Amino acid sequence: MKISKSISKKKKYENILIGVFVWSIAVIIYLVPFYYIIINSIKNLKESTVLSLKLPSEIVINNFVVAFIEGDMLRGLMNSVIIVAISVSSIIICSALAAFYIQRSKTKFANFLYYFFVAGIALPISIITTFALLQNIGLLNTLIGASAVYIAIRMPFIIFIYVGFLKTVPRELDEAAIIDGCSQLGIFVRVIIPLLSTVTVTSIIISSQFVWNNFDVILFFIQSYDKFTLPLAIYNFAGMYHTQWNLIFAGSIITVLPVLLIYILGQRYIIAGLTSGAVKG
Q: Is the pLDDT of residue 275 over 60?
A: no
| pLDDT for the residue 276 | 55
Q: Is the pLDDT of residue 5 over 60?
A: no
| pLDDT for the residue 172 | 83
- 238 strand-pairing partners: 243
Mean pLDDT of 147-174: 90
| pLDDT for the residue 160 | 92
Distances in Å between the Cα of 44 and the Cα atoms of 181, 245, 270 are: 69, 9, 38
| pLDDT for the residue 241 | 62
Q: Is the pLDDT of residue 210 over 70?
A: yes
| Mean pLDDT, all residues of the chain | 85
Q: Of 115-124, 147-156, 254-263, where does mean pLDDT reach its minimum? A: 254-263
Mean pLDDT of 58-86: 90
Structure confidence at residue 221 as a pLDDT band (50, 70, 90): very high
Mean pLDDT of 106-126: 88
| pLDDT for the residue 272 | 60
The three-point CA angle 256-83-224 to 5° equals 95
Phi-psi region of 51 (alpha: psi -120 to 50; beta: other; left: phi over 0): left
Q: Is the pLDDT of residue 15 over 80?
A: no
Domains of the chain by residue range: 2-41, 65-275
C-alpha to C-alpha distance for 269 and 56, rounded to whole angstroms? 39
Q: Of 33-42, 70-79, 191-200, 270-279, where does mean pLDDT reach its minimum? A: 270-279
pTM: 0.81
Is 65-275 in CATH node 1.20.1050.10? Answer: no
Q: Exposed, middle or buried: residue 75 (CB in 10 Å: 0-12, 13-18, 19+)?
A: middle
Q: Is the pLDDT of residue 46 over 90?
A: no
Structure confidence at residue 30 as a pLDDT band (50, 70, 90): confident
| pLDDT for the residue 280 | 45
| pLDDT for the residue 195 | 86
| pLDDT for the residue 279 | 45
Task: Summarize pLDDT for 225-269 with one digit per residue, the tens.
Answer: 888 998 888 877 876 567 888 898 999 898 888 888 877 776 666
Q: Is the pLDDT of residue 123 over 90?
A: no
Structure confidence at residue 155 as a pLDDT band (50, 70, 90): very high
Q: Exposed, middle or buried: residue 155 (CB in 10 Å: 0-12, 13-18, 19+)?
A: buried
Taking each helix axis from N to C end, the angle separating 197-213 and 245-275, rounded to the nearest 10 degrees, works out to 160
Report the sign of the C-alpha dihedral through residues 203, 207, 210, 212, in that order.
Answer: negative
- 243 strand-pairing partners: 238
DSSP class per residue in 56-114:
PSS--THHHHHHHHHTTHHHHHHHHHHHHHHHHHHHHHHHHHHHHHHHH--SHHHHHHH
